[in-house]
A and B are shown apart, each in its own frame.
Chain A
Amino acid sequence: MSGASNKITDDELNALILRLGTLLPQLNHGRHGRASSSTTKILKETCSYIRRLQKEVDDLSKRLSKCLDSMDITSSDAEFLTNLLQQ
């Protein structure tokens, strides 16, 4: 059709949706693995997952605000933490 590819092909769409599905914790039991998870379901799960993550960031911010006073972040701490996180 058009070379500008404004319209997404079905294959591309399926590939993108599937990839999203692999990122979602709930959907990863791999029941049948295939088309059983409809696009709508995956999109819905994606939305609630994002909401959940955003709320976690929010809660963690609150938690950090409470213990910020006791945080004496030295440069060695930063290095240690970064290494710890890289594992």
Chain B
Amino acid sequence: MNNPHHLNPTSLKSRFTTRFLRALTKIRAQKPISSSSPTEIFRRYRRIKVAADKSMAYSVRSRRIWSRAMLWKLRSRSYRRQDPCSGRRSGKTNQAIMKKSSNGNITRRREDGVGFVEEADELRQLVPGGETMNLCNLLDETAHYIKCLTTQVQVMKKIADFYSF
């Protein structure tokens, strides 16, 4: 059960599960049970989705470029809701964070992708923080991101099955 290599599925899974269950409990407690209007259910679905991403990003912490990008996105979103003026400032901060993580290779990335620039760019849109990654980082981050996504799906499925019979 002990995986010494890169991603330890056991601990990431349990970290994510614990966080996510905690978030679900909070979301459930927020609204009275009587409300089952489509609007309410929709709002809940959005909250659950954010909670799932948040739980995963926090479980990975800042060890990965993509998790840092996701955490930044989640945090700036909640700030923006409180203070509309912070939007401009956070844009600049984003550049600074991204520049640091990609080793300043922002302008260089085109020369790396010989023959598959389009596909690489498409991938960049899908992986959080991908727009500023060089090709090497992008491929590395993608592998980890996929592993985390599959964990996320697996756990959420188990939870849904567990509570829906």
Chain A residues with CB under 8 Å of chain B are 6-8, 12-13, 16-17, 19-20, 23, 39-40, 43-44, 46-47, 49-51, 53-54, 56-58, 60-71, 73, 77-78, 81-82, 84-86
Given contacts A47-B123, A54-B149, A77-B162, 15 further A-B contacts (CB under 8 A): A6-B103, A16-B143, A39-B119, A43-B122, A50-B146, A50-B149, A53-B149, A53-B153, A57-B49, A57-B156, A61-B156, A67-B163, A68-B28, A81-B17, A81-B158
Query: B86 on the interface (CB 8 Å rule)?
Result: no
Question: Bound state CA distance, A85 and B13, in angstroms?
Answer: 7
18 residue pairs bridging A and B, Cβ less than 8 Å apart: A6-B103, A13-B135, A17-B139, A23-B143, A23-B147, A43-B120, A46-B146, A51-B126, A58-B49, A60-B157, A64-B159, A65-B41, A69-B33, A77-B162, A81-B17, A82-B14, A84-B158, A85-B155
Q: Are A78 and B21 in contact (CB under 8 A)?
A: yes
Q: Are A85 and B154 in contact (CB under 8 A)?
A: yes
Residue B146 contacts which of A23, A68, A71, A73 (CB distance < 8 angstroms)?
A23
Residue B140 contacts which of A6, A16, A47, A81 (CB distance < 8 angstroms)?
A16
Q: Which residues of B contact A13 (CB under 8 A)?
A: 135-136, 139
Knowing A81-B21, A84-B158, the reply to whether A43 touches B116 (Cβ < 8 A) is yes
